[in-house]
Structures are given as C-alpha cells and as structure tokens.
Amino acid sequence: MSDLTELNLAEARDGLKTKAFSAREITDAYLSAIDASNPALNAYISVTHDQARAMADASDEKLAKGEGGTLEGIPLGIKDLFATKGVHTQACSHILDGFQPPYESTVTSNLWRDGAVMLGKLNMDEFAMGSSNETSYYGNVVNPWRRSGGDNAALVPGGSSGGSATATSAHLCVAATGTDTGGSIRQPAAFTGLVGIKPTYGRCSRWGIVAFASSLDQAGPLSRTVRDSAIMLGSMASHDPKDTTSVDLPVPDYEAAVGRDVRGLKVGIPKEYRLDGMPGEIETLWQQGVEWLKQAGAEIVEVSLPYTKYALPSYYIVAPAEASSNLARYDGVRYGLRVPDDDVITMYEKTRSEGFGPEVKRRVMIGTYVLSAGYYDAYYLKAQKIRTLIKRDFEKAFADVDVLLTPTSPNAAFAPGEITDPVTMYLNDIFTVTVNMAGLPGISVPAGLDGRGLPLGLQLIGKAFDEETLFRTAGVLEESAGFTARPEKWW
Amino acid sequence: MLVDSRTPNPKSFISGANGDWELVIGLEVHAQITSKSKLFSASSTSFGGEPNDHVSLVDAAMPGMLPVINKYCVEQAVRTGLGLKAKINKRSVFDRKNYFYPDLPQGYQISQFKDPIVGEGTVHLDMPEDGAVEVGIERLHMEQDAGKSIHDLVPGKSVVDLNRSGVALMEIVSKPDIRSADEAKAYVTKLRSILRYLGTCDGNMEEGSLRADVNVSVRKPGGEFGTRCEIKNVNSIRFIGQAIEYEARRQIDILEDGGQIDQETRLFDPKSGVTRSMRSKEEAHDYRYFPDPDLLPLEFDQDFVDEIAASLPELPDEKKARLIEQYGLSAYDADLLVDDPDTAAYFEAVAQGRDPKHAVNWVMGDLAAHAKSVGKPVHQAGASAEQLGSLIDLISDNTISGKIAKDVLDIVIAEGGNPAKIVDTKGLKQVTDTGAIEAVVDEVIAENPGKVEEVKEKPKMVGWFVGQVMQKSGGKANPQTVNAILAKKLGL
C-alpha cells in the first residue's frame, strides 16, 4: 500500500468509505510519521497516540456498519489554543503549565461528532501572538520548506498557527485547525504552500478557544487543498448558544461550491494593497492571479479601500487592548503556573513575569496603556472608529464586486531571528488584519513560488457569510495555479 | 454635572463652631437581583452552600469560557427601572472593569459603564417632619458580584469562595439629593421596599443582598458642593445613618480647623462607629473600562418593556394612597403598613369586612410588637390573617373584651388554634348578664364598706371597684356593664 499520509482529506475520506484502508491504518501511518519527523520540525507539542488509536478504532466500527460522519476516521492536528478535554491545552504558554481542561471546545466537539481523529496538539505562538512561531514556550516550529540554492537555513512557518501549517505541509496530519486574529491562519498557510481560511466572525464558535482578542478571533482550517478546507469548515462551523457572538445561520454545503466556475463573477482589486517597496515577485504573482480569474471568465474591477493604511496601527491597538484584559485571568490563583509568595501582589507579579514570554508581555503592556485613563480616547476609541470606517470601505467595495483578490503576505517565509523589530514583524499582517477588523472571511491559496523556491499565497476576501464564493473562486485559482510543488524532504 | 435640586432646610443643618453646615449625600446601592442563576452563567445563586459549590467554568474564568446574558436578570433590571419611574434604555452595553483580585477570577468585572440599562428616575420619600422629598435616580446598571476572600480560615493562607462570583447585581445610583442621615435611611428603606414589592431583590442586608456605598460631603448651607468621601459597602440602614453622622462631623472638624477634605474611599467600622481611610484618590484604580467584546450590546424592543410594565405590582406609593383612601387610615399608619408588601397584604386580609381602624391597631399594635420581639415580619409572627380577623370579630360582637383578646392572641401565637374555640374551651366569654355582674358588684361593696365611703368623696376611686369586680369575674365581665352597675349602686 502506498503511503497513506500522501492522501489529501477528500481522498482519505473516500478511501475510508470504500474500505481501501482503515482509520486505524491511516492513523498509525500519521503517528509513525509524527514520531519520525516531529523532533526536527517541532510541530506537535503533545501527541495523543492512545486517544488517536481509540478514536480511529471507533471510526472503523462505524465505517464497517456503513455509518460515520463527514470526517469519519480522518486524523487531524489541533492547535494548542483549542480546549481538548483531559489533553494538553496551554496556548503554548508557560503560564498554563499542566493545564488540561475538563471541557472540549465547540469547534473540536464538532469535529469529533463528525468522526475526526485527534493526533495531538500543535505548536503555536504563545497565546497566538506572533507571525513566525518564534514566541512559543515550546520552541520554534520549523518550516518544511527551505530556500533553493544550497541555503539550508531553517525557516519559520509563519504564525501564529505555525504548528498547524508545518504539520499539514509535512504530512503529519491530513489537515489542522488554526485560529486567525490578524492573519494567523492565512499567513502560515501562504508560507507553507497550504490553503487556509478564516471564516466570517461569528461563523465558528469561540467557546473553548483560549481567547486572544475576542472581537477578532476566529477558528478555521489549514489544509492541502481548497476542497479539504471546505469539508473541514463545514464541520467546524456552527451556531453556538454558548457564544453569543456566533451567528445563527445555516452552514451551507461548502464542498459543493468547490468546482463551480467564476464566469461573470466581479473580482475587485484594491489599489491600496499595492505597497511601496513590495517585492516585485508579490506584485507579479498578484497580476498572475488577476489573469487567471480573467481567463476563467471573471470581470476584474479596480476598487478603493482608502482606510487600509490605518488598519495595521488600529489592529495593534484593538487586539492588545482586548488581550490585556483577556489574559488577566492568568494570575496563578486557580490553575496553571503559580510562583508562590506570601504577598498576593508579589505572587501575581512573579507568576506573570515568569509565565508570559516577551511578546505577550509587550502586548499586555501596549493594551493596558491604550486603555488607561487619559489615553483611551486617543488610542482605543480612535482605533474603534477607524475599524468602523474600514468596515464601511469594504461595504462600499462589495456593493460593486463579489470578491476581492490581494496577496496574502508581503513576503515569503524568513529565517528565525531574521526579523527582530516588532513593528517589522507586525507588517507581515498588513494584508490580513483588515479582514479581521471588518469581520469578513478571507482565504489564502498557494499560487506560486518566489525566486528562491518558497511558496507564496494569494488572498481572497469575501462578503460576510459568503464563504461559498471564496471556495468557488479559490478552487478556480487553485486549478489555474496548478500548484504541485512540495518541499524536498530533509527532515 | 451635579445639579442642586433642594432648598436648604435649616432643620437638617449641623451646627459647627462658626456657623451651620449642610450635608450632601448620594448613594450607590448594590442590590442582588433575585434570580435562580447568575448573570452570565447557569450556576445557582442560592445563599449558603459549601464554598465553591455554585461555580461554573464561566464563574471560575477557565480559559476559553464565554459569558451568556441571563434574560431573566435583564427583565428584573427593567422591572426595577419601571418601579423607579425611570427611563429604560433599549440599548445598553456591557463593559469590562479591569482590576486584579483573587476573588475576581476573570481579572475584570463585567459591568455597564457608559450605557446603562436604566437612566434617570425618582424615589419619593415622606419625611415625618418635612413631608415630601424627591430623590433623583441617576442610573441603574447591571454587573457581576465578586467572590469572597477568606483570610482567617486556613492559618497563614487566604482562601477564595467563588459562590457569589458572577451573581447579578443592580447598582442603583442616586443623585446627590439627600441632605441628612435620616433622609439617607429613609431613602434606602424606601428603595428596599420598592425592590421587595417588585420582587427584584430580597433586600436582605444581613446576607449582603443589599449594601450601599455612601458619598458624603459638607458645605455651607446652599453653597458650592464640597469634596466628597465615599464610604464603601455599608450593610445596614442603621450603620448608614451612623456612618454619615460620623463622617459629617469628621469633615466639619477638618474644615473648621482650616483643613481641606481629601477625596478618598473610606470604610465604616460598626464596632467603633468611625470611618477610616481605605485608599486615597491617588491610589484609586484605573479600571480601564472598555466594551466587553464577548457580549454584543444588549438590545430589546418596546414590547419587551411593555410586557414587563403590564405585570408590575402596585408599588408602595400607590398602595399607601389607596390604603388611606380605601380604609381611611392615617398617613402614619399607611406608611408603616406599606413598608413591607406582605404586611400590607396581611393587613388588607384582616381588614376585609371589618373595621379598618381595629385591624390596623391590632396589626401594628400587639402583633407588630410580638413580631419585633421574635425578630420576624408581622405576617409571620404566628397569627394568620384569618385568626386575627376572627379575634377582632369576637371583640366586635362583645364575645370577649379587648383585654381578654390580648390573652387569646398570646395563646394563638403560642399554641395555634381557632380563637373562637379557644374562648369557648377556656371559658373566656365575656359576662354580659347584668344579674351575674350585679351579684359580684354587691359582693365587692359588701366586703369593702370603708372604700364605699371613700368613693363618695373621691369619685375617681371607682376604678378600684372596677378592678375588683373584673378580678373576681376572671376578667370576663363586660367593662361597660360593670361601670354602669357600679355607678348606680354607689350612687355616683
């Protein structure tokens, strides 16, 4: 039998249905791959061998009876931000040492309901704060991709869903869950040659996902094909009464949208996304995307999103503000790390000083500052106003077009330590944060390689709750790009 | 913007070394919403229970947990707003008030800061001497209660009980319209009464269901508002009065010594009767309020409000007016009765088909006295409205005297039972048979020839004869009949 880890999700699903192989077999194949490869890649921070096999066996029983859900027997990796009952859930932070929740997040519950198998918990930037997976308490995740031309330097997989990206790209899971607050699904997907979608805010329940910035956080999948993401999101999405920001709309058949053509579709090209100093390769790839869609029968329209330039600074006010409050609960009193002291204030200080890494501390401090008396109006309130204007920009654009096409990130994967200035690092999110600020869906599709052989992604931005148009358009891009490149296995 | 709504009243002034001072008081009352479950979780709100028994994942602020608003608490807040004749805001916003404390698991309290659910309203007071006083309500907002830190349970350690964590509170903020400790006490009493009528807060101050932060300042009568101090968490109406009086005197002494008042938060110590500084303005927390991104703005339509308004009970002011009108009660009696809705209902049940004056005298007289002595509300003092009613009937139809009735009431309270049967079995029926009474009168006259002579000089002595006759009859003789016969026989 060929290597089962080579199959994408749709193929694996079909193979399981026809009993070409068992859930146990494909699960074992992935567990072996993880055991062999993880030391080099550091994608998993906890591998749940026993649980995975037990879940696979349960799936096989169902499959034998011709039963089973849409993901029956599909081995997945789960970002450490999702609460998984009795299993490591620490947002890759020292401060949650030993935390194993007595509850399961709604998104992962949905996946298990549909028959998926959990392989383990995936590395990520601490509390999802980072664009390179260099802030994890569990160490850097390594990108399976390397620059061509003999430079063997390790590269970052992007962040914060770096473990999800590397694991899916290196075939250490069929697909993975991620979360995206400012680009944390789409940018790592672009850096590792994957598809990743951040759905509309409210499409997936946030219940049981460790909060970073509540008004921006959304769960979504990373996968090797557009179809796989469509299948995954169909399971992850739901209305959840436990999350009042989740939306009570039926979940469409996303997979059915994949393969539909884009004739007559109006695709907007936002002129403000043409940045000064952007690498020519990114610009060229973007143009290529325009051509592909034009050839497929779409109509290309230039649109304007004038408040784009304010999106990144506003995001870096709103997100840290919410984070500073969301992370206040990690105080050493009830769970996780406690660095004891006789005095409670000192206990807080010691626990939080030791428990949080530098990037988390930086954002907590920024957030605390922008919410402080005397600064609130100048920073937080103004950022919220800009957020409203950004939303309005998109509303106006979507009056004329059906979907927007942009690059996913302004650069390909870089080496760890290459970017040390936080603001330069934050610029990685420049094309993705606007989407979170407006609460819209965005998908990254691998579209080509840069001059050094590294994958680059194109982003499609849709109307609220119109993920179907994203999958449909992404499917066309995927087919036109014919992206088949694979990282050469060095690990 | 502070507006002075009152005309200075010299009766409320506090005299100082060099002239009078006027108190200015505003109250923030924290009232626990009567509800089965907490504001944002399904945990029970019941008082007592083992520590940390009523704690959900949300209350303990486990990672990834989210608040979901309890609709019933929203209804209760709207109901309260309507009871305070206040503006109901159909759109309000929950904010986070950020600070660290071990009994605040989230590291923030979910409250309403800029956009509360209820806006301006009024509480009407009837002061015994000064008559009507209107106290403005600034706002009412909903918020979570904190847990409880316990420092003396485990040696060397502090422990936390989260049973109260997340319980729904209403913070009801008055305008600075109160000008004396008595008015402040009357305000809290009235507010508590309104809340009890509405069923939105049980008003139980001992269990912490109702507590007040008291803002106190002094000024020259009618002058500019002075600097205020906030006395936190006062948990009885009596203490509110004591705290205000102490604090006023403290501030006056400082000002008269040429000092100035520092704006600060103070605590009242009931044992010593003094207020002590808790933290200064400089030490005040920066709470970094911002809208809670986990909760959408709270919005409802006019129908929601109208439905609640339609179910509103008769409130103290209306009930008082009606009792005066319907039963011809004095304002004083009516005030006493309406304070507690159950007492008022009890009175009305007793007064049904009877002389209301008798009913109020018995309810607020003997029964109230008994209730007070056993620390229970009047309607739970041990006599049902039916029992008290039939007792009053026995007086009205001259079956027993008022004096015997008091004894029968004691029996009813102690042993229970039907008053008419008690009177029967214990032979307490009033003797109205003139022949029988005459016989006793004759007996007394015969036994006391000296007194008979005396009474002719001093007619007031007849009382002594009445006493003797009553004693001999076991209190059962009809007093009017005794008087009449004695007058005739003694030739008075």
Q: Residues B402, B395: contact at Cβ < 8 Å? A: yes
Q: Is residue B3 included in any domain, yes or no?
A: no
Instruction: Name the 3-class secondary structure at A133.
Output: coil
Q: Is residue B222 included in any domain, yes or no?
A: yes
Q: Do B377 and B357 lie in a common domain?
A: yes
Q: What is the pLDDT of residue B332?
A: 84
Task: Categorize the per-residue pLDDT at B229 as very low, low, confident or very high, splitting at 50, 70 and 90.
Answer: very high
Q: Do B334 and B350 lie in a common domain?
A: yes
Mean pLDDT value of segment B165-186: 97
Least confident of A57-66, A387-396, A416-425, B399-408: B399-408
Task: Decide if A344 and B102 are in contact by the 8 Å CB cutoff.
Answer: yes
Q: Is residue B330 included in any domain, yes or no?
A: yes
Q: Residues B302, B90: contact at Cβ < 8 Å? A: yes
We report the CATH number of the domain holding residue B445 as: 1.10.10
Pairwise CA distance, residues A179 & A185, whole Å:
6
Under 8 Å CB-to-CB from A466, ≥6 apart: which residues?
Answer: A200, A402, A403, A441
Closest CA to B327 of B363, B278, B297: B363
Q: Is residue B5 included in any domain, yes or no?
A: no
Closest partner residue to B286 among A82, A213, A372, by Cβ?
A: A372
Which helix (H) or strand (E) element contains residue B194? helix B181-198
Instruction: Name the 3-class secondary structure at A47.
Output: strand
Q: Do B140 and B230 lie in a common domain?
A: yes
Higher-confidence position of B491 and A221: A221
Q: Do B112 and B180 lie in a common domain?
A: yes
Cis peptide preceding A160, ω within 30 of 0: yes
Q: Nearest residue of A to residue B151 by CA position? A: A344
Dihedral pair phi/psi, residue B286, rounded to 5°: -100, 105
Contacts of A241 in chain B (CB under 8 A): 68
Closest CA to A79 of A218, A235, A182, A195: A218
CA angle A456-A458-A464, nearest 5°? Answer: 145
Mean pLDDT value of segment A290-312: 97
Pairwise CA distance, residues A135 & B200, whole Å:
49
Task: Decide if A207 and B57 are in contact by the 8 Å CB cutoff.
Answer: no
The pLDDT tens digits of the residues spanning A408-446 come to: 999 999 999 999 998 888 988 999 999 999 999 999 999
Q: Is residue B97 included in any domain, yes or no?
A: yes
Q: List the structure tokens of B27.
A: 């109250």
Question: How many A-B residue pairs are in contact by the CB < 8 A criterion?
Answer: 94
Q: Which of B259, B293, B308 is the last residue of a domain?
A: B308
Does A97 have pLDDT greater than 90?
yes
Task: Categorize the per-residue pLDDT at B156 as very low, low, confident or very high, splitting at 50, 70 and 90.
Answer: confident
Q: Is residue B4 included in any domain, yes or no?
A: no
Q: Encode B273-299: b = buried (16+ Cβ within 10 Å), e = exposed.
A: eebeeeeeeeeeeebbbbbbbbbeebe
Instruction: Name the 3-class secondary structure at A177.
Output: strand
Task: Decide if B160 and A333 are in contact by the 8 Å CB cutoff.
Answer: yes
Which helix (H) or strand (E) element contains residue B290? strand B290-291
Dihedral pair phi/psi, residue A186, rounded to 5°: -70, -40
Q: Do B409 and B456 lie in a common domain?
A: no
The pLDDT tens digits of the residues spanning A173-189 come to: 999 999 999 999 999 99
Q: At what angle do helices B316-327 and B341-351 cross, to 10 degrees?
A: 20
Least confident of A117-126, A309-318, B149-158: B149-158
Task: Categorize the per-residue pLDDT at B289 as very low, low, confident or very high, splitting at 50, 70 and 90.
Answer: very high
Counting the structural domains of chain B, the total is: 3
Do β-strands B95-98 and B131-144 pair in parallel, antiparallel, or remain unpaired? unpaired
Q: Which of B425, B451, B481 is the last residue of a domain?
A: B425
Q: Do B238 and B365 lie in a common domain?
A: no
Burial zone of B250 (CB within 10 Å; 0-12 exposed, 13-18 middle, 19+ buried): middle
Pairwise CA distance, residues A33 & A44, whole Å:
12
Q: What is the pLDDT of residue B207?
A: 87
Q: Residues A402, A263: contact at Cβ < 8 Å? A: no
Q: How many residues does chain A have?
A: 491
**Token pair 């579209």: residue:** A447
Q: Do B225 and B354 lie in a common domain?
A: no
Q: Do B338 and B485 lie in a common domain?
A: no
Burial zone of A299 (CB within 10 Å; 0-12 exposed, 13-18 middle, 19+ buried): middle
Q: Do B127 and B261 lie in a common domain?
A: yes
Closest CA to A79 of A117, A116, A127: A127
All structural domains of chain A, each given as residue ranges with its CATH number in brackets, are: 128-159+171-491 (3.90.1300.10)
Closest CA to A56 of A44, A68, A45: A68
Q: Do B238 and B336 lie in a common domain?
A: no
Residues 225-254 of B with CB under 8 A from A: none
Q: How far apart are the first and last CA of chain A?
A: 23
Q: Residues A179, A219: contact at Cβ < 8 Å? A: yes
The pLDDT tens digits of the residues spanning A245-264 come to: 999 999 999 999 999 999 99
Does the beta carbon of B150 lie under 8 angstroms from any beta carbon of chain A?
Answer: no
Q: Which of B253, B277, B308 is the last residue of a domain?
A: B308
What is the sign, positive or negative, of the torsion defined by CA atoms of B67, B69, B70, B76? positive
CA angle B353-B358-B359, nearest 5°? Answer: 65
Provide the domain limits for residue B479. 434-490
Q: Do B118 and B239 lie in a common domain?
A: yes
Does the beta carbon of A208 lie under 8 angstroms from any beta carbon of chain B?
Answer: yes
A76, A123, A142, A328 from A89: Cα distances, Å: 16, 11, 21, 18
Closest CA to B138 of B29, B247, B232: B29
Under 8 Å CB-to-CB from A482, ≥6 apart: which residues?
Answer: none
Does B360 have pLDDT greater than 70?
yes
Q: Nearest residue of A to residue B60 by CA position? A: A334
What ipTM does this complex have?
0.96
Contacts of B286 in chain A (CB under 8 A): 372-373
Q: How many residues does chain B have?
A: 492
Does B1 have pLDDT greater than 70?
no
Q: Do B320 and B296 lie in a common domain?
A: no
Q: Is residue B2 included in any domain, yes or no?
A: no
The C-alpha of A333 sits at a distance from chain B's nearest C-alpha, in angstroms, of: 6
Dihedral pair phi/psi, residue B23, rounded to 5°: -85, 140
Q: Which positions of A are catalytic?
A: 79, 160, 184
Closest CA to A316 of A382, A248, A228, A251: A382
Q: Is residue B285 included in any domain, yes or no?
A: yes
Does A1 have pLDDT greater than 60?
no
Pairwise CA distance, residues B362 & A317, whole Å:
68
The C-alpha of B63 sits at a distance from chain A's nearest C-alpha, in angstroms, of: 5
A211, A266, B106 from A319: Cα distances, Å: 11, 32, 18
Which helix (H) or strand (E) element contains residue B485? helix B479-490
Mean pLDDT value of segment B295-308: 98
